[in-house]
Amino acid sequence: MAFKLVLPQVGMGMQDGTITEWLKQEGDAVAKGEIVCEVESAKSVVEIESPVAGTIAKLIVEEGVLVDVQEVIAIIDQEGGDVSPDEPPVEDNKPETKLTQKSQDNSGGERVQIEPQARWEAKQKNIDLTLVNGSGPGGRITWEDVLAYSKKPSQQDSPTGSGSEVEEDILPLTPMRRAIAERVSLAKQMVPHFYLKVTCAVDELNKLREEINHRDSKASITLNDIIVKAFAEALSKTPEANVTWHERGIRRFKQADLAVAVAIQDGLLTPVVENVSGKSLEQLSIEIRDIVKRARTGKIKQNEMQGGSAGISNLGMFGVEEFTAIINPPQSLMLAVGAAHPIPVVENGILREKMMMSLQLSVDHRVIDGVVAAALLNELKALLARPRMLL
């Protein structure tokens, strides 16, 4: 019996994906649960498993082709018989360049395996994988191979003069950039934002961070780790703000799951750290470093970017003093963290210099009113002023 393998929706909001590599070819046996192909969605590279055992009878979609969710991508013969004539034919829409072919140095025309994170990195850096030599088993191209190639001097010839200069280029939209454009546009249209701002001292934050890192040589606590922890604790103490909009009502969360914005080469990812307030500062720091690393190497999973009631974006580490951020639905809050800088402050009639930091909170007015948002922000400010309460 012929089984139609369709592209599943592996994450909320996924509408389509690009077949980046078929790991099984026509005639290959496949076990139930075995990976048959890799697909690049708007936010990550995912592996597609076969829900049945059998033989790959026909590959409907070529590598490099964008397909919609629930579209048939392959036919699996569960009994070893021929595919019936009424099965859909393979579409003749081959891409101009197939990234799984060897470069011109490999005249044998053999296929080369490519790690998903290597393909991801190559896409972010606009690198032609046919020019990359793989160092893995069987010539497999690894993430390290792509990084090494990206550091080489450009081999392209300098442009020759012509009668007119090119004043602009139209760059094609990547799936990620298109998804970001659609989401932020929809967020600003559908979510009624309002904004609150406070300025808080970070001297005690710096002292605590230095103390922990000095006490434990293996620790590498950052200011961002402490701020994420404090934001989660503030949400736990202000349950009215730990909510999101739902068509049937207001969804209230029992734990604080926070999305952490991670900048990558071609855009932005927002993986979610679950139950932040239930983790120690050291555990949280390790988990954040791990998800940031995996996000930047294309190893983050689609389900790791779902859920949460709030997000946090820290451009302070890039020197930005203050900014407002767009809420990422279905979340209802986005905290924008600015850079700390010295400001003269009067305390008890004495003028002194303190390191101050701007925090701006974007709020979904459908579910959170100004008084509740103010209580949340003031709770956060109080925790950052006395960060030892987080230990």
Q: Are 272 and 257 in contact (CB under 8 A)?
A: yes
Strands 35-40 and 45-49: antiparallel
According to DSSP, residue 209 is labeled H
Rounded (10°) CA dihedral 158, 164, 165, 171: -90
- CA dist 144 and 150 (Å) reads 10
Round to the nearest angstrom and report the end-to-end CA distance of the chain.
60
DSSP 161-179: P-SS------PPPPHHHHH
Integer Cα distance of 268 and 261 in angstroms: 7
Active site (catalytic) residues: 365
**Integer Cα distance of 129 and 33 in angstroms:** 29
Distance CA 308, CA 273 (A): 8
The span from the CA of 30 to the CA of 10, in Å, is 20
Q: What is the 3-state secondary structure (H, E, C) of 220-276?
A: CCCHHHHHHHHHHHHHHHCHHHCEEEECCEEEECCCCCEEECEEECCEEECCEECCH
